[in-house]
Structure 1
Amino acid sequence: LLQLGKRYILHPDSVYCESSDIVTDVVYENKVIASFTDQDALWENSTRDELAAKNREVIVQELHKLHNEYGLLQLGKRILYFILVVAIQGAFIWGTRLFYKRLKVRVGKLKETKLKPIFISTYELFDTQKQLSILFFLLKILQGILILLQLLISVPILFSIFPQTEDLAYRIFSYIWNPIKELFIGIVEYIPNLFTIVIIWYAVKYAMKGIKYLVGEIESEKLKINGFYPDWAQPTYQIIRFLLYAFMIVMIYPLLPKSENGVFQGVSVFIGLIVSLGSSSVIGNVMAGLVITYMRPFKIGDRIKLNDTIGNVIEKTPFVTRIKTPKNEIVTIPNSFIMSSHTVNYSSSARNYGLILHTDVSFSFEVHRETAHRILIKAALDTPDVLPDPAPFVLGISFQDSGFTYQINVYIKDADKINRIYSDLHHNIQELANKEGVEMVVQHYIATRDGEETAIPEAYQKKK
């Protein structure tokens, strides 16, 4: 029946019954549509011919219905509908493109009126031309989305016009609608988890604000906690922030969509493995940085000595510490190396006790001890930035082949001036020794003496 009904040319009333000795057939153009036997008539409590005639009427009615649906007239109507839908879709696409062109012109005018460069501090992130390019790109995407939505609606309609492609139309529509329906249902079902995630996020956010306020009070020394130094505040805050964010991720992870999916879990494990294998030295430096922070061996600006490197600490990061030497050399040292080395902090000693600088000076044996002490003490007191209290002091160090070695010790408060203080102290000692007519001696210094001349400048030699 369906095959007959789909014919464009069909005469349903031409269906007739044809009887033989054993069956009665319902026939159309020598094609048997149905056959009835005496047994069939017995079940219906009728004769074979009556049953065939009754069913013929039903078949003719059904063929009339199919002919009305699949006939030439309906085919013409469907072709017209098809052309109409294509024309309407073409008009929509043309209108969308026209709308895009006009909107692009209006957006282009914004460059001279509304658009201004976007800055982050002093860095120009987006100038007006870049902003205009981004807006044009977004308009292009919007145009594509609108045309795609139109096609997603019109293509299934076109396929549904013809019965032969109606099933394909429903299938295409299901390809579009089912993902949208599942997405919508998934979003609705995910709303409770989303609310939970938002609550966790805001709880952590405001907890961080409270902790940050306390950190600021500790750093400014408005809030003092016994045994907790102000320079610990910021590192401690970073640690607490990391732990809170880690806790937040642990709480949110089971609430994420597809978090129970094996692929999602496998990717998470793989990323964790890569991070753990590739960051052992990094983690070591970070842990060393934390230990250094709480050990407080130095702080920013301190003059320190690290093995053979002397300079001022200019930067401390979780990974490295940078030192600027007196010769303006920037030395970068991994924190793990600092942990395994010894550090001398000159600035800390100078601030708390007064740093002692010392230098050795040798005089010949004929120079009296009191004269040597007087020269060294006066030279020390005349040196800028040397503290008069505690007073400089002199120690006798050792006998040499050509004289006796003294050590002058001075107190200073500014460790950044060590090199200049040493230089000034040495100049003052030499100057005063020359003025006193006293000869300083140096190991391995060889000179021939006649008992009259001394190795000091002539300007300082006493005239006889």
Structure 2
Amino acid sequence: MSLRIPILTLLLMMLASSLHAASEEVRPETAVLLESALETAPVEIDGQLLFRVRGVSSFPAQQRADAIRERIEKVAAEPSYPSERLSAEVVGNVTMIMAGQATLMIVSEADAQLEHTSRDHLAALHLSRIRQAIDEYRRSRTSDALVKAGLYGGGATVILALGIAVLLVLNRWLDKVLSRLLKNRVHAVGIQSFQILRSETILKAFHGLMLLIGVATIVVSAYAYLHYVLALFPWTRSISNDLFDLAAGAFEHMGKSVGASIPDILVLLIIYYVCRFVLRLTRHFFDAVEQKRVTFTQFEPEWALPTYRLVRVLIFAFALIVAYPYIPGSESAAFKGISIFIGLVFSLGSSAAISNLIAGYLMTYRRVFKVGDRVKVGDVTGDVIAIRLQVTHLRTIKNEEVTIPNSQILNGNVTNFSSMAVTPGLILHTTVGIGYETPWRQVEAMLRMAAKRTMGIVGDPQPFILLTALGDFAITYELNGYIHDPHAIAQIHAELHRHILDVFNEYGVQIMTPAYESDPSEPKVVRQEQWYSAPASSGQRTEAETANDGASPPALADQQPAGWRAR
């Protein structure tokens, strides 16, 4: 075999000399940095790594590695040339590994510095690895080796087919057995009569999980089969190594990611349990405040629950702020983008909800009203049946439920009929118009008598009368009486009006109509014998009427007012 030194060999020698000369002029610390930054490439034969080589800008490392590999394979493809005849010759500042007259590669001082060893030692190591690679290259391509590899490959194929068949049968058998065991034990998940997950859905999910496990097992078996069979033949051994490196790289990356996340996960667990402990302690404290076992001045017990809810939100917010940097993936652009999007949607779509929420807490601490109070909000009058963070529910006197946003309540006027009803009492009032010819003392006495007959109007403090207007045709009297039951305002009002009509009819005093035309021939009053005209009956008399039976009218009853007639 005649091998000649190519022109490329001379170029490599010149490059090696220049690299050696340049390395001698560079300071040691600078040389270390340059060597760590240099690109290297592997020299592989049939998927087996021999060594790595460096390159220069005019002859990159990958091109140099490919050239060395091609020359080694060319020598290995000549069975007549024994590997023992390979030699290492020193030429100037480099060592050349020769195959007869052909140069396989050049080892320079720069290559030795990259491996942190001497040039002669590195050349000897490379020479030994090249000889082993040539022998293995020839041995793996013999007829016996290829037949053996084919038999092993065929056996692996049979084992894979049998394994897949067994896995399929075993998967079906396990699916049937476990389905029978779980069929009577799996129940639907729901809230009362509403089913969130039906039992059939849970069983289908279980079947899908078993199928997924079977498919994953077959995929792993096929991967192991390909890795083994491809490694049997020299031409596909590099593909087998690539498959292994791909899987190993994926598992290595996953392992590093999980390992790097373990400290953050431990910190998150600590934050979780600390937050849980603080919440429990806070709940016990406010429960004690609500039950009056712990008291504070100027702090009402009914404020305990809403205050706890507010403090709980603050604790959650603080815990989230502390835990955010430790959440895996929190530094990624996708996580930040989703966080910004959620914050934007929350800020744009929840302005009204937040205003109602803040208004709910402000109403609680301002003691505007409480559950059970009779209030008037705008045009709605009713009893407070529920106070939520967002809205307040009222039940009107017509038994209608009205929902009012808390922000509307906070920004409007609220009349609370219950806050002052017990002490000193809620003042119930009504007005009547009486002619000028009737003495005002008589009118006030009759109004007090009507108030006294009315159940629900207390005697202490005493009712009082105000003259609110001296009109064109009548004097306007306002009767004011104290009550303690704000929920009976309508009933007390109605009963008071009935007694006013009765008292004024008893004493023949006419209540003025809205307009005056002329004096009527008779006063516009209802005589007592006509009070129970059909279909009314005396059985409908009130307790106050029964108590007044037999009472004689005062002397002022003899004074009859002048006549009036309605338009």
User: Which band: TM-score by shorter chain?
Assistant: 0.7 to 0.9
Alpha-carbon spacing, 1:227–1:123, altered in 2? closer, same or farther (3 Å):
farther
1:66 is paired with a residue whose SS is: coil
Indicate yes or no: 2:206 matched with 1:131: no
Q: CA RMSD in A?
A: 3.6
**Which of the residues 132, 152, 158 maps onto 2:220?**
152
Q: Is the 8 A contact 1:363 1:441 kept in 2?
A: yes
**Which of the residues 286, 297, 302 maps onto 2:373?**
302
1:366-422 per-residue CA deviation (whole Å, 9 max, x = no partner) reads 433333223211221222222221121222222233332211111111111111111
Q: Is the 8 A contact 1:156 1:172 kept in 2?
A: no
Aligned to 1:368: 439
1:337 is paired with a residue whose SS is: helix
Indicate yes or no: 2:155 matched with 1:87: no
Q: C-alpha separation between the residues in 2 aligned to 1:94 and 1:427?
A: 92
Q: Structure 2 matches for 1:211-222, cutoff 5 A?
A: 211-222=282-293
Post-superposition shift, 1:294?
A: 1.5
Q: Is the 8 A contact 1:363 1:404 kept in 2?
A: yes
Q: Structure 2 matches for 1:51-450, cutoff 5 A?
A: 63-67=138-142, 70-108=145-183, 110=184, 114-115=185-186, 120=191, 122-125=192-195, 130-162=198-230, 163=233, 164-444=235-515, 446=517, 448-450=519-521
Q: C-alpha separation between the residues in 1 aligned to 2:135 and 2:245?
A: 35
Q: Is the 8 A contact 1:156 1:170 kept in 2?
A: no
Post-superposition shift, 1:139?
A: 3.1
Q: C-alpha separation between the residues in 1 aligned to 2:399 and 2:356?
A: 25
Q: Is the 8 A contact 2:75 2:99 kept in 1?
A: no
Amino acid aligned to 1:456: V
Q: C-alpha separation between the residues in 2 aligned to 1:216 and 1:298?
A: 22
Alpha-carbon spacing, 1:264–1:40, altered in 2? closer, same or farther (3 Å):
closer
Q: C-alpha separation between the residues in 1 aligned to 2:288 and 2:361?
A: 21
Q: Is the 8 A contact 1:316 1:322 kept in 2?
A: yes
Alpha-carbon spacing, 1:74–1:175, altered in 2? closer, same or farther (3 Å):
closer
Q: C-alpha separation between the residues in 2 aligned to 1:101 and 1:291?
A: 61
Q: C-alpha separation between the residues in 1 aligned to 2:409 and 2:425?
A: 25
Indicate yes or no: 2:524 matched with 1:454: yes
Alpha-carbon spacing, 1:126–1:64, altered in 2? closer, same or farther (3 Å):
closer
Q: Is the 8 A contact 2:465 2:480 kept in 1?
A: yes
Amino acid aligned to 1:250: I
Alpha-carbon spacing, 1:230–1:447, altered in 2? closer, same or farther (3 Å):
farther
Alpha-carbon spacing, 1:358–1:184, altered in 2? closer, same or farther (3 Å):
same
Q: C-alpha separation between the residues in 1 aligned to 2:186 and 2:100?
A: 89
Q: C-alpha separation between the residues in 1 aligned to 2:379 and 2:181?
A: 67
Q: C-alpha separation between the residues in 1 aligned to 2:378 and 2:136?
A: 107
Post-superposition shift, 1:158?
A: 3.4
Post-superposition shift, 1:138?
A: 1.9
1:78-132 per-residue CA deviation (whole Å, 9 max, x = no partner) reads 2232122222222112211221122223322x1xxx4556564x444468xx224
Tell me, which stretches of 5 or more residues in structure 1 are unaligned?
6-25, 50-54
Q: C-alpha separation between the residues in 1 aligned to 2:484 and 2:456?
A: 8
Post-superposition shift, 1:151?
A: 1.9
Q: C-alpha separation between the residues in 2 aligned to 1:338 and 1:230?
A: 23
Amino acid aligned to 2:174: F
Aligned to 1:8: none
Amino acid aligned to 2:149: Q
Bigger shift: 89-98 or 246-255?
A: 89-98
Alpha-carbon spacing, 1:118–1:272, altered in 2? closer, same or farther (3 Å):
closer
Alpha-carbon spacing, 1:192–1:106, altered in 2? closer, same or farther (3 Å):
same
Q: Is the 8 A contact 2:375 2:381 kept in 1?
A: yes
Q: Is the 8 A contact 2:375 2:382 kept in 1?
A: yes
Alpha-carbon spacing, 1:107–1:418, altered in 2? closer, same or farther (3 Å):
same
Q: C-alpha separation between the residues in 1 aligned to 2:327 and 2:278?
A: 22
Bigger shift: 166-175 or 333-342?
A: 166-175
Alpha-carbon spacing, 1:177–1:77, altered in 2? closer, same or farther (3 Å):
closer
Alpha-carbon spacing, 1:68–1:383, altered in 2? closer, same or farther (3 Å):
farther
Amino acid aligned to 1:286: L
Post-superposition shift, 1:260?
A: 2.2
Q: Tell me the number of residue pairs that the alignment of Structure 1 and Structure 2 aligns.
A: 420
1:381 is paired with a residue whose SS is: helix
TM-score using structure 2 length? 0.66
Q: Is the 8 A contact 2:506 2:528 kept in 1?
A: no
Q: C-alpha separation between the residues in 2 aligned to 1:411 and 1:344?
A: 17
Alpha-carbon spacing, 1:168–1:375, altered in 2? closer, same or farther (3 Å):
farther
Post-superposition shift, 1:226?
A: 0.3
Post-superposition shift, 1:344?
A: 1.4
Q: Is the 8 A contact 1:82 1:158 kept in 2?
A: no
2:419 is paired with a residue whose SS is: helix
Q: Is the 8 A contact 2:393 2:401 kept in 1?
A: yes
Q: C-alpha separation between the residues in 1 aligned to 2:335 and 2:451?
A: 73
Aligned to 1:15: none
Bigger shift: 232-241 or 368-377?
A: 368-377
Q: Is the 8 A contact 2:167 2:214 kept in 1?
A: no
Q: C-alpha separation between the residues in 1 aligned to 2:255 and 2:382?
A: 64
Alpha-carbon spacing, 1:267–1:124, altered in 2? closer, same or farther (3 Å):
closer
1:347 is paired with a residue whose SS is: coil
Alpha-carbon spacing, 1:142–1:217, altered in 2? closer, same or farther (3 Å):
same
Post-superposition shift, 1:27?
A: 11
Alpha-carbon spacing, 1:179–1:415, altered in 2? closer, same or farther (3 Å):
farther
Q: C-alpha separation between the residues in 2 aligned to 1:48 and 1:141?
A: 64
Q: C-alpha separation between the residues in 2 aligned to 1:34 and 1:240?
A: 88
Post-superposition shift, 1:254?
A: 0.8
TM-score using structure 1 length? 0.79
